Amino acid sequence: MTRSPQNFADSPGLAEMAADAELDALSEILETVRLRGRAVTRHDAEPGAPVRVPGGRRVLHIVEHGSVALRVEGESTDVAVHSGDMVVLARGDAHTLEAVDGPARWVTGSFLVDEPQAAPLLSVLAPAITITGTGPGREWLPLSLELLLVEVTDPRPGAAAMISRILDLLFIHALRAWSTDSAAPGWLTAALDPALAPVLTAIHRSPAAPWSVSDLAALASMSRTTFTDRFTRRLGQPPAAYLADRRLARAATLLRTTPIPVASVAHQVGYDSEAAFSRAFRRRYDVPPLRYRKGDGG
């Protein structure tokens, strides 16, 4: 998420990249959800002493040594994570980690996101994305762990920024690696589809634009029928529904982070009337816009 090694520690991230070049679909979506690494903690544990992570925290864990059994709340089987492996829990599911067959140590990295934008996007990912630390193309994982440990054990000026950037990079690497093994419908599958990637980029960059299905099909260089079928299979929902979700997620962010009137929010996310926007918003978030702004719902 940098432009050059020289400014790795103090680059503001993906937002600055837009000034240099157009973002690809995956980068555009990560910019939309405002993903950013927050902090790292280190854990030592013995068998029989599980560590619980409550729901709502989007985290990753990298095992330094030993083996860990990870139990995601609501899932029927444990996930085995061994020395050098990483597991990413991007959805924020509650889970526990427990050392098995001896003591274990791991580091936990946490992330901040724009929740209204991120929740529907990250919810389509697997509850736990496990990345093994060995094998070709995985050299980035032990290197990243080493860099994190340097910043945790010997913090120097800029350590927080370094940790944040490393966590961002780990998250992106995890998505890339997981996508090669997963064909499940969702935005990641579509973002890696060469024909659909320009469509997702356009929607996330300009959700308020008066997109028609024909407009979006033209961006994919497909007929309307072929595009609609492919988009629906890749994302699990039709183009119009995905666009509506993105507009309402953007509206939710504006309501919570700005004081602008509801009518202006409606206009900024592509609605011609405040009444139509309010009806759609209430269907999506179960409360009208003004109540949502006050902290109800969401």
Q: Are residues 156 and 277 in the same domain?
A: no
Question: Which domain-ending residue is among 138, 155, 179?
Answer: 179
The domain boundary, picked from 135, 159, 179, lies at 179
Q: What's the total number of domains in the chain?
A: 2
Residue 298 lies inside a defined structural domain of this protein: no
Residues 172 and 282 in one domain: no
| Predicted local distance difference test score (pLDDT) of residue 243 | 95
Looking at residue 228, its pLDDT comes to: 97
| Angle, alpha carbons 165-109-37 (nearest 5°) | 35
Q: Let me know if residue 244 belongs to a domain.
A: yes
Give the domain extent around 119.
5-179
Q: Lowest-confidence range among 11-20, 59-68, 75-84?
A: 11-20
Question: Is 110 part of any domain?
Answer: yes
What CATH number does the domain containing 278 carry?
A: 1.10.10.60
Cα–Cα distance for residue pair 113/102, rounded to 1 Å: 35
170 and 223 share one domain: no
Phi then psi for residue 183, to 5 deg, are -115, 20
Cα(31)–Cα(23) distance, integer angstroms: 9
Whether 167 and 192 share a structural domain: no
Q: Which of 179, 213, 231 is the last residue of a domain?
A: 179
Q: Residues 33-48: pLDDT tens digits? A: 888 999 999 999 999 9
Residues 167 and 103 in one domain: yes
Closest CA to 115 of 61, 58, 166: 58
**157-215: pLDDT as tens digits:** 999 999 999 999 999 998 888 877 665 678 888 888 889 999 999 999 899 999 999 99
Report the predicted TM-score, pTM, of the whole model to 2 decimal places: 0.78
Q: What's the token pair of residue 112?
A: 């901040």
Q: Quick one: average pLDDT of 228-235?
A: 93
**220 shares its domain with 168:** no
If asked whether residues 222 and 153 sit together in one domain, one would say no
Q: Are 116 and 253 in contact (CB under 8 A)?
A: yes
Q: Which residues, at least 6 apart from 100, have a Cβ–Cβ distance to it below 8 Å?
A: 47, 66, 67, 68, 69
